[in-house]
Structure 1
Amino acid sequence: MSNGICQSLWSPVRRLVKLKRVRHISTSLVHNETILVKNNNEFVTKVMNNDKPVIVNFHADWCEPCKILTPKLKEMIEPLNNLDLAVVDVEDNAELVHAFEVKAVPAVIAIRNGLIVDKFIGLVDTDMITNLIDRMSGNKKEGS
């Protein structure tokens, strides 16, 4: 009888564990999560030391062009499995703003293997964003 009680108690736990595994696997296959950078250490760990290229979006909540660019970048990058997006709020990360010499927002830098390989400032057209994403994700060669 106690064996039946143990099985009935463990059954929901097993189902929960299976659901979590399936959910974790399915979300990681569908899209990447956007890295919301909170401090310098997190930036170094999740951006500079990332195995994948990272597009870093320096933005501010009060910036109108940022309110257009940030969702567009998320929409275009999150489905890709070979490129990450990091979002840095300039109001909360003054040291990063200074280190990367961000003078205006939005400012976007592309980092591969810990090195800046491209950048742009301001709201740019979709073709420029697409070209950057293609180059960074390996869909096009650097020179094309």
Structure 2
Amino acid sequence: MSSSICQGLRSPIRSLATLRRAKAISTSLVHNETILVKNNEEFVNKVMNNDKPVIVNFHAEWCEPCKILTPKLKELIEPLSNLDLAVVDVEDNADLVHTFEVKAVPAVIAIKNGLIVDKFIGLVDADMITGLIDRMSGKKKEGA
């Protein structure tokens, strides 16, 4: 069952990412760096005190779904100038795992103005991922 979810996730995200990348390149060459969180102090400084919204991806190297989700999040978020991505390795940041009550990986939380405003756990469908990114980056869905 997990592999069918993974298969369903790959194609829609790849197509959307290709379109977004092409649009970002044609309009701007701004790329954000992914924040690789190493400790609590860095998390507070670069995530909680960030002027921009941040999508935080709790992941682990041994987690197969993380190996799919983490690169896709990077691909979708890095071209955006008004949204950052932070990656937290759960093996190296036990305090953050405890603070945010991460019980499974991948776990994604969206932080705006120092507050958690959205989250999801595990691999979810492409629409949920792009919807979260669009909401956090200030984009409105057509017809909404």
Q: Unaligned 5+ residue runs, structure 1? A: 1-27
Q: Unaligned 5+ residue runs, structure 2? A: 1-27
Q: 1:132 & 1:112 partners in 2: Cα distance? A: 12
Corresponding position of 1:131: 131
Corresponding position of 2:40: 40
Q: Does 1:71 align with 2:71?
A: yes
Q: 1:80 & 1:38 partners in 2: Cα distance? A: 23
Corresponding position of 1:121: 121
Identity of aligned residues (%): 90
Q: One-letter code of the match for 2:74?
A: K
Q: One-letter code of the match for 1:105?
A: V
Q: CA offsets per residue over residues 18-72 of structure 1, 9 Å max, x none?
A: xxxxxxxxxx942100000000000000000000000000000000000000000
Taking structure 1 as the reference length, what is the TM-score of the superposition? 0.78
How many angstroms does 1:140 deviate by? 1.9
How many angstroms does 1:125 deviate by? 1.2
How many angstroms does 1:132 deviate by? 0.1
Corresponding position of 1:103: 103
Q: Cα RMSD between the aligned structures?
A: 1.3
Within 5 Å, which residues of 2 pair with 1:75-90? Answer: 75-90=75-90
How many angstroms does 1:126 deviate by? 1.1
Q: One-letter code of the match for 2:112?
A: R
Q: 2:29 & 2:128 partners in 1: Cα distance? A: 27
Q: One-letter code of the match for 2:68?
A: I
Q: One-letter code of the match for 1:79?
A: P
How many angstroms does 1:107 deviate by? 0.1
The higher-RCO structure (CA 8 Å, 6+ apart) is 2
Q: 2:44 & 2:113 partners in 1: Cα distance? A: 11
| Matched positions, count | 115
Instruction: Select the structure of larger CA radius of gyration.
Output: 1
Q: 2:68 & 2:135 partners in 1: Cα distance? A: 22
SS of corresponding position for 2:104: coil
SS of corresponding position for 2:124: coil
